[in-house]
Amino acid sequence: MTVYVIRRLLGILPVLILVALGSFLLVHLVPGDPAMVMLGNDATPQQIQALKTQMGLDRSLPEQFALWGRQVLRGNLGESFFLGRPVTQSLMERLPATLQLALLSLVFSLLIGIPAGILAAVRQNTKWDQLIMITAMGGISIPSFWLGLFLILVFSVQLGWLPSGGYAPLWDDFWGGLRILVLPSISLGFMQAALIARMTRSSMLEVLRQDYVRTAKAKGLDWWRVTLRHALKNAMIPVITTIGTAFGVLLGGAVIVEIVFTYPGLGRLVVLAVQRRDYPLVQGALLLASVIYVLVNLAVDLLYGVFDPRIKYE
């Protein structure tokens, strides 16, 4: 198990370096002189040269990357063109909101998706199975922003049950914050719930066909023990491995859902930054989100090692 952990930790280092390189190069793909892009068309040649020297833009690309990398490791992601403040500060203010949304969406998708998938598998080819699979097929086809708009129309505007926007950190006001997050989490998590239901069903069917499950049934064990004790744990292994990927999808999808619900997370900040061509902010947000995704996947990989005994004894 220790070897497994060390191997996984070493494995993410090249990925993190490449992620940083990708984020760095992205801004350098902008057509034209980066200093001129930052200062605008009215900038004088002296101002452009001064900014280039200050930011190291007159150095070679590897030198610039090394300089930028050192700053990033110190937590400095540069300064936002339009906000006029450090990018790190702007991102850290918004990050908790986006993380809460992504995490709650993940919880929703697991709470709905896994039981639905299990039910569809144990009731294969019945009306339950067909209903769940048709709903899941619909779920993976409906855009999250469209679902969000309809949830707002029904539950906020017409019924008045839930708010259509706002924000309250869960640690300040748990129930208030949760009420605000219900509709955005459902919009964002519904598609993942559908994917998880499909994967759980497929995985459960595979496991329920195994000889050891047939043996357990032949021994006279009741349905609950066979399904939940013997089959479920093994069926969950492929599902767990996709939790990391699901989180990444939710982190990216949160960008869109935050616009629908005017939720003050990273998403709205990034969209505004794109409209204003605020490249340091876009770059910083992309790097931050990617690093979080890599670390979450690492945590899931290590958790996978706990669930699958074959990994422990590798």
Binding residues for other proteins (CB under 8 A) = 14-15, 18-19, 21-22, 26-27, 29-31, 137-138, 140-146, 149, 152-153, 157, 248-249, 251-253, 255-256, 259-260, 270-271, 273-275, 277, 279, 282-283, 285-286, 289-290, 293-294, 297
Q: Closest CB to other proteins among 197 and 249?
A: 249
Nearest-approach distance from CB 248 to other proteins, in angstroms: 5
Q: Closest CB to other proteins among 144 and 227?
A: 144
Identify whether the C-beta of residue 72 lies closer than 8 Å to the C-beta of residue 84.
no
One-letter amino acid for residue 88 of the chain: T
Nearest-approach distance from CB 81 to other proteins, in angstroms: 12
One-letter amino acid for residue 218 of the chain: A
Distance CA(196)–CA(235), nearest Å, equals 12
Q: Closest CB to other proteins among 146 and 174?
A: 146
**Ramachandran angles phi, psi of 79, nearest 5°:** -120, 140
Q: Closest CB to other proteins among 16 and 221?
A: 16
- Calculate the alpha carbon distances from 115 to 41, 267, 277, 306 in Å: 58, 30, 44, 22
Could you tell me the two tokens for 119?
A: 């039910």
Distance CA(213)–CA(230), nearest Å, equals 7
Could you tell me the two tokens for 175?
A: 């129930």
Q: Closest CB to other proteins among 128 and 145?
A: 145
Could you tell me the two tokens for 164?
A: 């259509």
- Calculate the alpha carbon distances from 284 to 46, 70, 77, 163, 269 in Å: 28, 14, 6, 31, 11
Nearest-approach distance from CB 107 to other proteins, in angstroms: 18
Nearest-approach distance from CB 172 to other proteins, in angstroms: 27
One-letter amino acid for residue 89 of the chain: Q
Q: Closest CB to other proteins among 193 and 282?
A: 282
Nearest-approach distance from CB 245 to other proteins, in angstroms: 8
Nearest-approach distance from CB 97 to other proteins, in angstroms: 15
Sequence-separated (6 or more) residues with CB below 8 Å from residue 278: 80, 81, 82, 83, 272
Distance CA(93)–CA(88), nearest Å, equals 9
Q: Closest CB to other proteins among 125 and 275?
A: 275
Q: Closest CB to other proteins among 272 and 306?
A: 272
Nearest-approach distance from CB 68 to other proteins, in angstroms: 16
Sequence-separated (6 or more) residues with CB below 8 Å from residue 144: 187, 188, 190, 191, 253, 256, 257
